[in-house]
Every structure is written in C-alpha cells, then in structure tokens.
Structure 1
Amino acid sequence: MLDVLGDNPEAVEADLIHHYPGYGRGGPLAAFWKGEITLRLLRVMVEQLPPNSATARAENGHDWQHADYATQDTVDLLALLVTQFANAHRDPKKYPNPMPLPEPGWRPGDPPPEDTAAAEEERRAKARDAYERLNSQLIPGKG
C-alpha cells in the first residue's frame, strides 16, 4: 500500500481527494480501506494524476509545465534577438564594443542566482591566489 503512495503520501492523498471527488468523504483512499476499490485501481489513479498535481510538484521540486519552459525559451530568444539587432545596428565609432549576449533565464534544476554568484566569486579568489603564488615563485623580490 505504501508503495502506491510513494515518497509523498500527503500530496498523493490530497490529489486523490481533489481529482476524484466522486468517492465521497476521504476520497479513493477511504474507499480502498472500505473495500470499495481495489489496490490496482488505486495505483492506476495515482499513476494517472495530472502533471500539475501536488504529487508532481513534490516529486519534481517545482511546478513548471511545458508552457512555462516554452515561455522562458521565448523570453531568452527575444532577449538574444534584441541584443543581436542592437549590435548589428550600432555605430562602431560611438560604441566600439558590442553588447554582450544575454544569459539564459533560470529554469528548475539550475542553481539559484545567488549560489552561482558565490561560486563565481570563489572561483575568482582561487584564480587570484594561484596567480599570486606563481608571481611569488617566478618574479624575483615578490616572495
């Protein structure tokens, strides 16, 4: 029985009650314990919960749907298009350096921006220390 409910039994129970209201108070879980439905039917109900359910959010760690990813892709491509257009039509005498290309937006599974900034600062500090260590070994009077 616990295998059917998975790692997030509360989310599964809430979804079953929400998506199958015809089973009355307690939803399909109560109907299973009363012997009104089989374990197989309960398993099928759980497996067929929609992708925007609480169970899917709990398992995935986010509630992004296909449309959310498509929207973010559109935003990223539009930002790239605007930047490329601006670079193609800039006055090279007035603006000698082109605008840098924008970074893609955050998506589930990516580290949060503050973690990325901290990791980048740590990488720079290590590179700076390595540079100083090399200079102290190679340049007389620096060590």
Structure 2
Amino acid sequence: MVENLPPTGATARANNGHAWQAETYAAADSRDLLALLFTAFVNANRDPKKPAMPYPEPGWRPGDPTPEESAAAAERDRAKARTAYEHITAQVLPGEG
C-alpha cells in the first residue's frame, strides 16, 4: 500500500526525519567541493608573505548535530571533566576535601 507513495511525501519525510533527497545531498556535496577548490586556488595563488586561508568546514547535513547541540554537548563534557578533576584533587591534595 505504501510502495507507490512519493519519496517527497509526508510518510517518507516522517520515516527519514528530514526532507532531503539524493539531489539535495548532491547539491550540498557540490557546494562543499566548490568551496574547497576555491580555497585551494586562493592559497596556491596568494602572496607568500601572507598566511594561508583556512579550509572551510563541510556544510550541515541531516543527522549532524546543530551548533546548539554541539555547544550543549561541549558544556556537558567540560562539567564532567571539572567534576572528575575536583574528585581527584580532593583525594590527593590535603585540605581540599
């Protein structure tokens, strides 16, 4: 029954969690490649006395964490590392615990 539903329909989007199709992925890959090639061209033809241009990060894809999710995960990791450091310091250093 669902075999003939369109790949852009609501059922496919709900199943995938996003509306990206093969063409959208190809366009994003092409954009990333063009940015990479442009940066390589600029770096190859730059003044030797000037620093090289940094290579661009790839664009966002479905399934990648958003910047907000990345920042929240980094904050959780920092808090976890700080707690572990304080625990070790309390056991090793006198007067800290």
Asked if these proteins are the same fold (TM beyond 0.5), I'd say: yes
Give the unaligned 5+ runs of structure 2: 90-95
One-letter identity of the residue aligned with 2:42? A
Write the distance in 2 (CA, Å) between the matches of 1:100 and 1:75: 17
Q: Is 2:25 the counterpart of 1:69? A: yes
Among 76, 79, 93, the residue aligned to 2:35:
79
Write the distance in 1 (CA, Å) between the matches of 2:7 and 2:40: 36
Deviation at 1:48, TM superposition (A): 2.0
1:27 maps to none
Deviation at 1:84, TM superposition (A): 0.8
One-letter identity of the residue aligned with 1:80? L
Deviation at 1:122, TM superposition (A): 5.0
2:93 maps to none
Deviation at 1:114, TM superposition (A): 1.8
Write the distance in 1 (CA, Å) between the matches of 2:47 and 2:76: 37
Task: State TM-score, norm by structure 1.
Answer: 0.51
Map 1:14-33 onto structure 2 (within 5 A): none
Aligned to 1:90, the other structure's residue is in SS state coil
Write the distance in 2 (CA, Å) between the matches of 1:47 and 1:74: 31
Among 96, 105, 108, the residue aligned to 2:62:
108
Give the unaligned 5+ runs of structure 1: 1-42, 137-142
Write the distance in 2 (CA, Å) between the matches of 1:80 and 1:86: 10
Write the distance in 2 (CA, Å) between the matches of 1:85 and 1:47: 47
Deviation at 1:117, TM superposition (A): 3.2
> RMSD of the alignment, in Å?
2.4
Quote the sequence identity (%).
60
Tell me the number of residue pairs that the alignment of Structure 1 and Structure 2 aligns: 86
Larger Rg: 1
Select the structure that is richer in helix: 1
Deviation at 1:54, TM superposition (A): 0.6
